[in-house]
Amino acid sequence: MPELPEVETIRRSLSQHILHLSIDEVVLRWPGAVEGYEGKSFEETVKGLKIQSIERRGKYLLFTLEKGWSFIAHMRMTGRLVYHANSQEPEKHTHVVLKLSSGEIHFTDTRKFGRLQLVRTEGRLRQPSLARLGPEPLEEGFSPEELGRRLAPRKLAIKAALLDQALVAGVGNIYADEALFRAGIAPERSANTLTPEEVEKLYTAICEVLQEGIAANGTSFRDYQDANGEKGAFQKELKVYGRGGEACRCCGETLERIRLGGRSTVFCPRCQK
């Protein structure tokens, strides 16, 4: 599940290879993987355009092309963007191949939830899903005070609140569970019941798990890999995610697994209050 650290790792690894290369040919093996263009097809529109930059916003990757075009990629659950220096046979679930002036990018997604969306560069940030994103947690503009202001009117479970991309961008199921464990906060707590001290702890925990996640090149729990096909290492650091029924690494208590916000949630009933 690519979350902020995984998407950032993909961005960095892709940037090593494809900046300033041109897209010579697009092979659309499953048309449902691309959306958002008008008139000419995705293939015709991006053909011949150079890739000028790759940025990240939340869990989205933003590719700026020439002539005022950009495309936005979202991996959702199982999406991968892998660079191959030499031409490769597409895998079973490779939906889009971008053949570049040197090498090619394969967009592969088993569950077909991921998307590439073509937009005009200047309208990109007004694109609805990007426009509603909350602050970048590792940049200026996110602080304990800001987090507290955003949690204050919310009555839903703090775990569900952290998954809301409008609250803070880029946190998903793995890092939400890990951050709540580090902060010692029970996931079912109503968001608006956190004390200022707890909000501060949560803020610190979110920043730490994301930074450590990036430093480890992400978490490869199931499918995730970066643009070089490399796995991450943060799964070794996970304290609660995916460990329901096992012993807490901190106190030995059996970790509980519940559903919150439609997502499986693991926490320690002794360490998290």
Question: Which of the residues are catalytic?
Answer: 2-3, 59, 263
Dist CA 2 CA 75 (whole Å)? 7
Question: Residues 8, 10, 42, 59: which binds DNA (CB under 7 A)?
Answer: 59
Pick the binder of DNA from 88, 102, 193, 264 (CB under 7 A). 264
The piece of 19-27, 37-45, 62-70, 166-174 that touches DNA (CB under 7 A) is 166-174
**DSSP structure string for 203-244:** HHHHHHHHHHHHHTT---SSS---TTS---SGGGG-SSTT-T
* The binder of DNA chosen from 137, 172, 213, 218 (CB under 7 A): 172
Residues in contact with 52: Cβ distance below 8 Å, sequence separation at least 6, in sequence order: 19, 20, 64, 65, 66
Candidate residues 9, 13, 94, 165; the one interacting with DNA per rule CB under 7 A: 165
Binding segment for DNA (CB under 7 A), chosen from 97-105, 134-142, 153-161, 207-215, is 153-161
Cβ-based nearer residue to DNA, 48 or 244: 244
Closest CA to 258 of 198, 177, 183: 177
From 10, 26, 100, 157, residue interacting with DNA (rule: CB under 7 A) = 157
Number of residues that bind DNA (CB under 7 A): 38
Q: Rule CB under 7 A: which of 197-256 touch DNA? A: none
**Residue 154 binding DNA, by CB under 7 A:** yes
Q: What share of the chain is helix, strand, coil (3-state, %, to 5)?
A: 30, 25, 45
Contact of 148 with 79, CB cutoff 8 Å:
no
- Which of 21, 77, 186, 216 forms a contact with DNA (CB under 7 A)? 77
- Quick one: which H or E segment has residue 83? strand 79-84
The CA distance from 127 to 139, in Å, is: 21
**Nearer Cβ to DNA, position 100 or 151?**
151
**Is 160 an interacting residue with respect to DNA (CB under 7 A)?**
yes
| The amino acid at 6 | E
Q: What is the torsion angle, in degrees rounded to the nearest 10, for the CA atoms of residue 67, residue 31, residue 6 and residue 240?
A: 150
Check if the beta carbon of residue 70 is closer than 8 Å to that of residue 121.
yes
State which residue, 49 or 268, has the beta carbon closest to DNA. Answer: 268
For DNA, the closer of residues 56 and 182 by Cβ is: 56
129 interacts with DNA by CB under 7 A: yes
For DNA, give the closer residue by CB, 50 or 263: 263
What are the residues binding DNA (CB under 7 A)?
1, 3, 32, 58-60, 74, 76-78, 92-93, 110-113, 128-129, 132, 153-157, 160-161, 163, 165, 172-174, 191, 257, 259, 261-264
